Amino acid sequence: MQSRFMRTATGKAVVPILMAFLLTAVFTSFLSAQTAPEVYSKVKIFTESPQDLLTLREAGMGLDHGYQTEKYLEVFLDSRQMSLLKKTGLNYEVLIPDWNAYYDQNIAMNPAEMKSLQREMKKQYGVQGFEFGSMGGFYTLAEVLTELDSMHLLYPNLISARQSIGTSVEGRDIWMVKISDNPGIDEGEPEVLYTALHHAREPQGMMTVIYFMYQLLENYGTDPEVTFLVNNRELYFVPVVNPDGYEYNRQTNPNGGGMWRKNRLNNGDGTFGVDLNRNYGFQWAYDDNGSSPYTGDQTYRGTAPFSEPETQAIRDFCNAHQFQLALNYHTYSNLLIYPWGYINALPPAPDDQIFINLAVDMTQFNGYAYGNASQLLYPVNGDSDDWMYGEQTTKPKIFTMTPEVGSASDGFWPNPNRIYPLAQENVYPNLRLAWGDEVITADPLDPVPPGSVVAYSDYTTPASMLLSWSDPNALANGDTLLPGDFTIEIERDGAAIASIAGGTETYTDNGLADGVMYTYNLYTKVVATDSLSEVVSVSWTAGGAPQPSAPSNFFVT
Q: Look up residue 45 and give its DSSP letter.
A: E
Q: Which residues of 41-59 are buried (b: 16+ CB within 10 A; e: fewer)?
A: bbbbbebeeeebbebbbeb
Nearest to 304 by CA among 289, 319, 286, 284: 284
* Distance (Å, whole) CA 517 – CA 442: 30
406 CB-contact burial (10 Å; exposed 0-12 / middle 13-18 / buried 19+): buried
Grouping H, G, I as helix, E, B as strand and the rest as coil, residue 236 is strand
Q: CA–CA separation, 130 vs 126, rounded Å?
A: 9
In the 8-state DSSP scheme, what is residue 463? T
CB count in 10 Å sphere of residue 71: 9
d(CA 433, CA 230): 13
Beta-strand pair 191-196/323-329: parallel
Distance of CA 518 to the CA centre of its chain: 33
Tell me 199's DSSP state.
S
Q: SS3 for 478-506, per residue?
A: CCECCHHHEEEEEEECCEEEEEEECCCCE
404 included as an active-site residue: yes
* Beta-carbon contacts of residue 168 (< 8 Å; ≥ 6 apart): 174, 242, 243, 244, 263, 264, 309, 310
* Active-site option among 218, 234, 310, 404: 404
In contact, 470 and 463? CB cutoff 8 Å:
no
What residues are annotated to the active site? 404
